Each structure stands twice: as structure tokens, then as C-alpha cells.
Structure 1
Amino acid sequence: MKLQSIATACLGLAAGALLFGTSAQAQDVRLRFAAPVPERHWILQNDLFPWAKKLEAESGGRLAIDIQPVGVFGTPDKYLELVESGVIDAAWFVPGYAPGQYPLTTAVELPFLFDTAAHASTTFWTLYEDGLLGDEYADVKPLALWMNVPYIIMTKNHPVKELSDLDGLKLRASGRMVGSVLEAIGATGVGMPASEMAEAIRLGVLNGTAFSHEAVEPFGIADQITDFNEIPVGSITHIVIMNKDKYESLPDDLKALIDENSGLVLSEQLGRSYDTADAHAREKYAGNDQYTTNEPSEALMSDLETAVAPVVESWKEEARAAGGDPDAILARIKELNGE
């Protein structure tokens, strides 16, 4: 009887251990995700919220991503630090908030490289996968690397037809590389929050901005801009990153699920969304007599490329100092561009 009781107890412990193990395997995981934009932003509504819902559905409810809009988890410039420290699990971060931390990544922000955000984004991810961006993402788990559409120069009552038309113009610059390009072509790049841009243009503090069509209305400059000067001055990068330890702590099937729905496919999707939104905005403004679209001549484009050549060389020096191979990076970009 005693032996039977011991055996029964052992079986009970084994069954309990099995049940506990099953429970642990099926344990719900909730990831805290910070976004730098309001909840109504189209990237959240059209892409990231559906992405999170898809992961939750395909995991049978075991994986939930709690995406919170700007302001909930602090300011966007702190998201990288919060992810790396584990205060939050994931975030949409703009590398421009961390100047000097991503010198190799900055290659994709150079002007005249891309025509669409989708292609720029797939190139960005491919450079990372190829190992050409060094260890810039070694402390996090990248889930997507993508880009805006190429920015153009938008001005108020000041068409740009030749290089000299840019002399002395005060234009808002959205990042360090765009600012460097604006300075090189004769303008003055002014750093300021996008939320202050409309008032600055209205007061004459700015003559315009380097921006994309899709952002004109959300940032309130539709009534201030008159000229869309189709001069590409580069773009800015975005990244979706996850705390590395948090990712590694997940069950293998959940890690695989995240990987299947992230990476190249998510990067391209986010870039394509920028292209779609920008195309819709372009159609809207093309039918409005308030605006004039000025296409650059071949002579102007040649002058612009000559003017920004020192910016490219300066980036190469920074990339070499960071242990990268700038020539290999640019060669790979050209290869992916079909050149």
C-alpha cells in the first residue's frame, strides 16, 4: 500500500509537471511597443496595428503587441534607450534622434539613390542582412528597417529653376544628412520640430522645407507652400526594434512567428505605405492651382550632384572611421538599383 501511494504520488507529480510545462509553453506574452506618432497615424492604422493583430491571431492569442502612441512611453528620442534597457519591449524609432550612432546606416539617406520608399526600404534591410552595416544593431533585435519617400524642396513663393535660386533660402531640415545636403547646395538647413514649421514659414522665419507630399497636410503647411521643387535631397530612416533579451526569452515558435512576419517583408510593406500615401497626396495637390510643380532640368541636376559630392566624401570618411567599408556599401546599393 505504501509503495502504491508513493507510485501514485510520483505519477501525480509527473502529471503536474507535465501540465505546468504545457502551461508555461502556452503562457501569454505581451510586448510593450512605443510609437512616435499619434494613434490616428496611417502607418499605425494601415500597417502596424494590423501586423500586431496578425501576430496575435497566428499565435492563437499567445502573443500580444501593445502598441501605444506617442506620449505614453516618454518622448520618441528616448525610445532606443528604453528598448535597450528593457523598460519597454519594442519601438518604432527614428535613428536621427541618435546622431553619430548609425554612421553606416546613413548611407541610405544620401540623395539621388532611390525613387521609391519601398525600394529604399528593401535596400536598407538587405544591407543589414549582408552585414554591411557592421554592429550598429547588435544591441537590439531589428524587426523592420524602412525609409520615407525621397524628400523634395518645398518653398513659399520661390520657385527653384537653377542652383543659384537656392542661395540663402532657409529650409527646415528633418535630419543631419538632409541638413548637410541643403547646406551644400546653397541653402541654410534649419533644425526645428515639424510641429513648429507652419508658423515659421508663415512668419518668414523659414522659406520652406525639405519634405514629402504625404506630410504636408498633417503638419499644417498646405496653406503656406506654393512650389513643389522636385529636387531630391535624400530621406530619413525608421527602424522597428525589439529588446534582444526579450526576443531570446520567447519560445522558439513565437520567435519564428515574429521572424516570418518581420524583416524584409515588413520593411518593404512600410516603405510601400509611404509611397502610396505620397502618391495620393501628389494627386490631390496636382489638381490645385495654388501649387506649382517645378521639375529640375538636366543642367540643374548635374549642378546639384556636383555640389553634394563633398557630402558623400564626408560620409565616406565617417563610415571608415566607424570601421565600415563605404565603397562596398555604395557598390551594393548600385547593384540593388540595377546599375
Structure 2
Amino acid sequence: MPVPDVPQALSKNVIDGVLVPFEIVPALKLQELTAYSILGDDGSRFGTSVFLFLMNKERYEELPDDLKAVIDAHSGAAIAAMAGTLWDEIEEPGKKMQLDSGGEIVGIDAAAKAKFDDLSQSVEQRWIAEMQDQDIDGAALVEAAKTGVARHSQ
């Protein structure tokens, strides 16, 4: 469902909940439509988005040195860490709005989160199969993404 359709779907009881980051709460006024937000009891989330900044290496090598310097200065691990910090910070206003409206942010235990993770495996497996149909090793991509998320989630 497109994110802009979520408020109406919630208000008409078409859906009971939605997996979105707290940063979207203010824009969609989700604090007016939901009573609970759920995190893992360790603060973990249900899912992770992977963002990539990619460029064809040959094209990069063809760039003038001054443009390569701009790209180099605005990419890499330091920029990724900064972006992660910013994403964490932009969650706070949405969390505050949820709490200030009388909503609760509750944690679920590891066993319940594991059950949720198991149920979401069908989505992952469907995507891997779709990639396989395109002669892409989706399983390897998923594993690489999980490894990267784990490495940078500490």
C-alpha cells in the first residue's frame, strides 16, 4: 500500500497497523490513528531498509579528479555513519508525538519477535525467487545485506 494511503486505511479499519518508521508519524498524523507502536524489547525494529549509493566504476574512473574528489568526500563509511545517526535522530519527534498523544511504545520479547521474523520469511523467499527468475543470485544479495546490517547495527 502506498504510504500516503495509510491514514485513510487505518481510519476506515481497512488495516489494523503498518510498518513505518517513527519519522513518518508527524506527516501522516499517525498518533491520531494508532494507540500503540511496537519495538523489540531491545529497541530493534521489524525490518531494515538498505540504501546504496552506486556508480559504475568505469564511469567513475572517467570523471575529472575534482568530481571524483566530491564523490569521495560525500560517500563511504563516514557518510553512512552520519546518515545512520541522522535517521536515528529524526525518529525522536515521531516517538514524542506518539507518547504525547497518549499512545504507547511497547516492546515485544525475543520469542514474539522471532515468530514475526519467521512469518516474514515468505516475503524474503518470494523476492529471492523473483531474482532467480532474472538470473540474479538473490540469496547472496540477501545474505550480504543482512551481514552489512548486522555489522552496522552496533
Q: Same fold (TM over 0.5)?
A: yes
* Structure number with higher relative contact order (C-alpha < 8 Å, ≥ 6 residues apart): 2
Amino acid at match of 1:322: I
Partner of 2:107: 295
* 1:285 equivalenced with 2:125 (yes/no): no
Is the contact made by 2:10 and 2:16 (CA closer than 8 Å) also made in structure 1? yes
Q: Which has the higher strand share?
A: 1
* 1:273 equivalenced with 2:82 (yes/no): no
Aligned mate of 2:14, from 186, 189, 205:
205
Deviation at 1:234, TM superposition (A): 1.1
Once the two structures are superposed, the pairs formed by residues 165-244 of structure 1 within 5 Å of their partners are 191=1, 193-230=2-39, 232-240=45-53
* 1:336 equivalenced with 2:145 (yes/no): no
Amino acid at match of 2:29: G
Amino acid at match of 1:210: L
Please report the RMSD computed on the Cα atoms of aligned residues, expressed in angstroms: 3.6
Amino acid at match of 1:273: L
Deviation at 1:275, TM superposition (A): 0.7
Gaps of 5+ in 1: 1-190
CA distance in 1, matches of 2:4, 2:27: 9
Q: Deviations over 1:214-271 (max 9, x none)?
A: 1100123221121112263313344456688875554213312321222332232222
Partner of 2:137: 323
Q: Compute the TM-score of the two structures, normalised by the length of structure 2.
A: 0.69
Amino acid at match of 2:27: P
Once the two structures are superposed, the pairs formed by residues 15-30 of structure 1 within 5 Å of their partners are none
Q: Deviations over 1:30-77 (max 9, x none)?
A: xxxxxxxxxxxxxxxxxxxxxxxxxxxxxxxxxxxxxxxxxxxxxxxx
CA distance in 2, matches of 1:228, 1:209: 9
Once the two structures are superposed, the pairs formed by residues 133-148 of structure 1 within 5 Å of their partners are none
Deviation at 1:278, TM superposition (A): 0.8
Partner of 1:306: 118
Structure with max Cα Rg:
1
Partner of 1:180: none
CA distance in 1, matches of 2:122, 2:138: 19
Paired residue secondary structure (2:19)? strand
